[in-house]
Structure 1
């Protein structure tokens, strides 16, 4: 509670500090990309968990252990790629913001198919704090 003095009378005003810790699932088969994305999330004050492929991400959600604000989803992965994983998560009623992460070489048709699978956004690698921060800010405002 903050107290402000004005002209001999005191007005008491309640100040609510709203700090939300963002919880992020990073789904990528490349350990270097997973580590880079973890570092970005940490620098913006979030916490993260990783999955090496789409199947691990589906299992996390199927077992009811998962609740994420944001999922960073690589497109190309073994066992279950990003497109089929995103479709499956949406079928499972996962409402997290899912952001696809693609390479520059991906064709427009491939990106469109990824978006149609249920992505909220799609970003090109390499991810940077500048690319991801506006999405994180949107989650804080929600």
Structure 2
């Protein structure tokens, strides 16, 4: 498997180091260089020709949106994943119109970064596997990118509606756990899987059910009370 070479552009040194560790925990990814703003980022892109940029939006001297505009204007052949604290529609639309593969909202979990990088690697492998693609293969690749963006938009919308006392990072963990549980999961399963109390897991699951993000099947065993089994809505 070809190593994907990543340029990390982030102005906060502590966040930059955490992101570097997150990226390099995912198999097949290597951070080859880092920059603290968009001006330095453009210079390093031209010097090292990375496959992928993981870039913050709010940075001094030159922010991520202006940097993306410059990349597109100069027709630089590089993909970008945006990392941002922004959750307003106008900023999100600007980011999307500039052709990012995905955007991740701060604060985020390792699992959220891992999910995006795995999807990106799968996309790159399919694109580079053949010189020509069929309509079916193209539809599948576009569909994966569209699904990735829809999931990100859904997460942003949901984060704006979180009740008091809820945490977006915990919500992301619940969503990720359910996505991996093809046969569904109970509140006990979720609690154990992400390391929270059962009552906490149940609160998040009830919230997600109310917002129609998950469905619930009641399963009856031979002994004891029926158990709610939760499934992520695809």
TM-score range normalised by the length of the shorter chain: 0.7 to 0.9
1:32 aligns with 2:7: no
Gaps spanning 5+ residues in structure 2: where? 128-234
Residue 74 of structure 2 aligns with which residue? 92
- Give the alignment partner of residue 98 of structure 2, picking from 97, 117, 125: 117
- 1:65 match: secondary structure: helix
Larger % of strand: which?
A: 1
Gaps spanning 5+ residues in structure 1: where? 1-18
Residue 47 of structure 1 aligns with which residue? 30
- 1:60 match: secondary structure: helix
Deviations 1:70-101 (A, max 9, x none): 11111100000000001101112112111111
- 2:82 match: secondary structure: strand
With normalisation by structure 2, the TM-score equals: 0.48
With normalisation by structure 1, the TM-score equals: 0.76
1:69 aligns with 2:51: yes
Larger % of helix: which?
A: 2
Deviations 1:36-87 (A, max 9, x none): 22112211232112111111011223xx312111111111000000000011
Relative contact order, higher structure (CA 8 A, sep 6+): 1
